[in-house]
Amino acid sequence: MTTLNHHRVGRGEPLVLVHGVGSRWQVWEPIIDALAEHFDVIAVDLPGFGESAPLPRTTVDTLTDALADFLADEGIDRPHLAGNSMGGGIALNLGARGLARSVTAFSPIFFWDTPGRIWCQQSLGQSKRLGRILGPTMPKVLGTALGRTLFLGLVFGKPWAVGSGIALDTAHGAVDSLGFSPALDSFTDAGLHDPGALAELPVTIAWGNRDILLTYATQSRRARKVLPRARHITLEGSGHTPFYDDPDACARVLLDLLPTQPGDHGGGRP
């Protein structure tokens, strides 16, 4: 049986939230309450991240398999899936397997070229190394707007506006997670396995126009070519992990697309 630490709240159709590399379920906190008004929200810690035990071998594909096993073990049948970054790629591949009612991916992996993928791996790897070097001084560094901007500009569009506690938790998510380095290394061979299988599934790709990790200008354009039938949305003023930059817009991406409970008057299908 696959056990993953997770946070579950709300009522309605299941909506599973999947974080990115070096992150944890709490990255979704700015929008969970809004989503829980319409959905049974399950925000997971992938193996080797947050409070979930690591796998014997961590790759994007083994993490995808582990999440599929967790859903089966929990009896969560074809949930709506939403993922960020690596989690977006995982959600897309699970959708291609027929395991989702819909998929929403925020700045997902897989739409890079080789230089873009190397930039992502090297910049995140350097960030983790810097975090280890800073060690006990990290709270002081991230306690300033300048420190947050310099250290977290890769993931947030407005890092200076993020609280110091959130900034510190974000940094520790990368520095402390056992799954970070092997998952990041596996990006070299990771890919979208069957994009054609997503053609008949409701798919949304949302990208912050301040994303400099998986660069918005090039990778969102490539996503439009690979998934022409998906709904593509630009999140103005948001970065790679947009939930703190513009939580209202991020929540609307999901609430406007996904089915709501009977009697609700939000967007989406009845």
Does pLDDT of 267 surpass 60?
Answer: no
Does pLDDT of 270 surpass 60?
Answer: no
Q: Going from the N-terminus, what domains does the chain have, and what CATH number goes with each?
A: 6-113+191-257 (3.40.50.1820), 116-180 (no CATH)
Does pLDDT of 268 surpass 90?
Answer: no
Q: What is the pLDDT of residues 221-238, one digit of tens each?
A: 999 999 999 999 999 999
Cβ distance 67 to 4 under 8 Å?
yes
Mean pLDDT (the chain) is 93
Q: How confident is the model at residue 262 (pLDDT cuts 50, 70, 90)?
A: very low
pLDDT value for 245: 97
SS3 195: helix
pLDDT value for 2: 75
Helix-, strand-, coil-residue percentages of the chain, each rounded to 5: 45, 15, 40
User: Structure pTM?
Assistant: 0.93
Q: What is the pLDDT of residues 124-176, one digit of tens each?
A: 999 999 888 888 999 999 999 999 999 899 999 999 999 999 999 999 888 99
Residue reference for tokens 């997770």: 6
% of the chain exceeding 70 in pLDDT: 95
pLDDT value for 134: 87
Does pLDDT of 57 surpass 90?
Answer: yes
pLDDT value for 264: 41
Average pLDDT over residues 54-75: 97
Cβ distance 97 to 31 under 8 Å?
no
Q: Rounded distance, CA 29 to CA 140, Å?
A: 24
Q: What is the pLDDT of residues 197-221, one digit of tens each?
A: 999 899 999 999 999 999 999 999 9
Tell me whether residue 129 is exposed, middle or buried, using C-beta atoms within 10 angstroms of its C-beta: 0 to 12, 13 to 18, 19 or more. Answer: exposed
pLDDT value for 257: 66
Average pLDDT over residues 72-81: 96
Q: How confident is the model at residue 256 (pLDDT cuts 50, 70, 90)?
A: confident
Average pLDDT over residues 174-190: 95
- 266 vs 58 pLDDT, higher one: 58
Average pLDDT over residues 52-75: 97
Q: Rounded distance, CA 99 to CA 191, Å?
A: 18
Cβ distance 95 to 201 under 8 Å?
yes
Q: Which range scores top for mean pLDDT: 78-92, 130-144, 246-260? A: 78-92
Average pLDDT over residues 104-117: 98
